[in-house]
Chains A and B, each alone.
Chain A
Amino acid sequence: MTRLAPDVPARAMARSPRVVRRALSAGETWVFAALIILMAIFTGLAPGKFLTLNNLSLNAQTAAPFLLMAVGETFVILTAGIDLSVGFVLVLCGVVAGEYYLSNGGTNASVGTIWIGAILGLLTGAAFGGLQGFAVAKLKIPPLIATLMGLGVAEGLSYLITGGSDLRAVPNTLVSSIGTGYLAGVQWVIIISFLVTLVFGLILAYTRFGRYTYAIGSSPEATLRAGINVDWHLIKVYALSGLMAGVAGIVNLGYFGTTTISAHPLDNLTVITAVVIGGASLFGGRGSMLGTFIGVFIPVLLLSGLNIVGVNQYWQYILTGLVLGAAVYLDQIRRRLRERA
């Protein structure tokens, strides 16, 4: 770019093709286009019902726990790993917090108690994730198996702790704040999930933690030879995923006012699909938080749209599964093209 010509229009013209080129080559653009098309289809099929502030806000609330889990999952997938345990860790963390509330004031628990219970839930998630990370990094158990194992353990623990029935003694203050409360006209659930996504998106893009996450997914060997403690970083990444599931667990607890033990068996499908649609490669090293953010809304809006149009909602799982397959297939093609180039 030349500095000799200070006239703005000329510079803008010289710049715009590059901006356009960048935008077209960025994976996020295509996901965003897909999202717009999806919304256009449902808006056409159900005018005045789908594209309303009310419905969009409802979808953002539905998306919140998925978005939180997808934030952690993005880091994991960028390291070429996978975390299948997310929905189950969400439940476990909610159960741990719920159990604490049950024995400390129940629905009338104080704000202090709520914080302690929430922190216990978050710690549970981080520790659980960290253990899975240990299994992956140190015991060399493939992530698929390590987190499948974790999924079973989290599910079993949740049922053991609760005796099989949902805990409903959720503090009123938690429900009226995080669950149904507003800040400046926006639901807390939405604010928390968007804010967490923004913060970890910045961490991913601008810090050493993010850089090492990409590096490990790209080439663990190269990262190791650069003197980076790959094992420890992997443990931290899985702990982060567990922590995010924990945040989702507390939000979920406040939102529904119960631990919803049996309601999350396919969260991992939704979350992984969202991250992969968002452009993250299952082979690691490529992806972004913006992509994940957009990607989360595709399965969520799909469900909402199908509901409004009157299609049986179980089609959503079938479609989500197929979309996941298609996204991974596209990624394969992209990789092959790049390697040939």
Chain B
Amino acid sequence: MGEVAEPERPAVPLLEARGLVKHYGSVQALDGASFSAYPGEVVALIGDNGAGKSTLVKTLSGVIRPDRGQILVSGTPVSLSSPLDARAHGIETVYQDLALAPDLDAAANLHLGREIYRWWPPLRVLNKAEMRRRAVAAFADLGVELKDVTAPVATLSGGQRQSVAVARAVSYASQIIFMDEPTAALGVLQRERVLDNIRRVRDRGITVVLISHNMPEVLAVADRVEVLRMGRRVARFVAADTTIEQLVGAMTGALTTEEESA
């Protein structure tokens, strides 16, 4: 099987990785990995355990630096040396563990690190009412129902917590959101809710990179799929023309559509 044709997409990827290499001691996590995400799409990044997905995501979100290789945002090479660098380029990550403070409420979590204030220093205080108001608006925008934005996040269900994390990422991200196994810990209904979240985010014009093990889920929500194996990209698919068998084949090595780039 040759390269799958991918019609109607802009020539320049929004985010592109070229030949990323990352060693951890003798372990080669990334071995010349490439990746691309185009504006306004949901692209799934899949691969078996140890294929390098997490390392690739961490590299692209500024958590770790690659030993070699290039990262380009809209065709321009960039250096992402911290998550704040990535944020400056409009890149956000919703981590598997959601990275919320469980004792703080949804409004506080949504604004953590960029609180809204009343008055001025030295008497500057948190404007809790305004943060609450904006939180309600942000959740409404996402179509998420949250009964009480003042309840500690720890008291919310897994799906609701995920919604808080997504709303938080959306409010930061202007370009692209990574979602690392967003449905891993959720039940069926909550899983649907997360997939809805992903679609809503894309409909706002933000690119979503979905990292997942769940093949039906990937094909249900993604526009394209990129497959990693042993630290490099081995296949790219248009989701609508792809079967689960093809994805599994690419993940396990039975199928390779990419040139083994040097």
Contact = CB atoms under 8 A, between A and B. Distances in A.
Interface in A193-227: 206-208, 211, 214-215, 217-219, 221-223, 225-227
Given A215-B112, A227-B113, A222 B101 contact: yes
A338 B152 CA distance: 11
Contacts of A221: 97, 99
Interface string B87-106: 10000000101011111100
Given A225-B95, A339-B154, A207 B113 contact: no
B155 interface: yes
B108 A217 contact: no
Contacts of A215: 101, 104, 108, 112
Given A206-B126, A207-B124, A225-B99, A218 B113 contact: no
A21 B238 CA distance: 54
Contact of B101 (A207, A214, A339): A214
Contacts of A341: 155
Contacts of B125: 206-207
A207 B87 CA distance: 25
B83 A225 contact: yes
Contacts of A308: none
A220 to B, nearest CB: 9
A228 B155 contact: no
B223 interface: no
Nearest to B157: A341
Given A206-B126, A207-B124, A207-B126, A226 B113 contact: yes
Contact of B112 (A206, A207, A226, A338): A226
B87 A227 contact: yes
Interface in B112-165: 112-113, 115, 117, 124-126, 128, 154-155
A211 B112 CA distance: 9
Nearest to A215: B101
A217 B84 CA distance: 22
With a 10 A CB-CB cut-off, give which of A217, A219, A341 has the most chain B CB atoms. Answer: A219
B155 A223 contact: no
A217 B112 CA distance: 14
B113 A219 contact: no
A338 B126 contact: no
A211 B99 contact: no
Nearest to A221: B99
Contact of A285 (B87, B103, B112, B115): B103
Contacts of B103: 214, 217-218, 284-286
A221 B117 CA distance: 24
B174 to A, nearest CB: 16
A227 B84 contact: yes
Nearest to A216: B101
Interface of A: 206-208, 211, 214-215, 217-219, 221-223, 225-228, 284-286, 338-339, 341
Interface of B: 83-84, 87, 95, 97, 99-104, 108-109, 112-113, 115, 117, 124-126, 128, 154-155
27 contacts: A206-B125, A207-B125, A207-B126, A208-B117, A211-B104, A211-B112, A215-B104, A218-B101, A218-B103, A218-B104, A219-B99, A219-B100, A222-B100, A225-B83, A225-B99, A226-B99, A226-B112, A226-B113, A227-B83, A227-B113, A228-B112, A284-B103, A285-B101, A285-B103, A285-B104, A338-B154, A339-B154
Given A211-B104, A223-B101, 15 more contacts: A208-B117, A211-B112, A211-B115, A214-B101, A215-B101, A215-B104, A215-B112, A219-B102, A222-B100, A222-B109, A225-B95, A228-B113, A285-B101, A285-B103, A285-B104
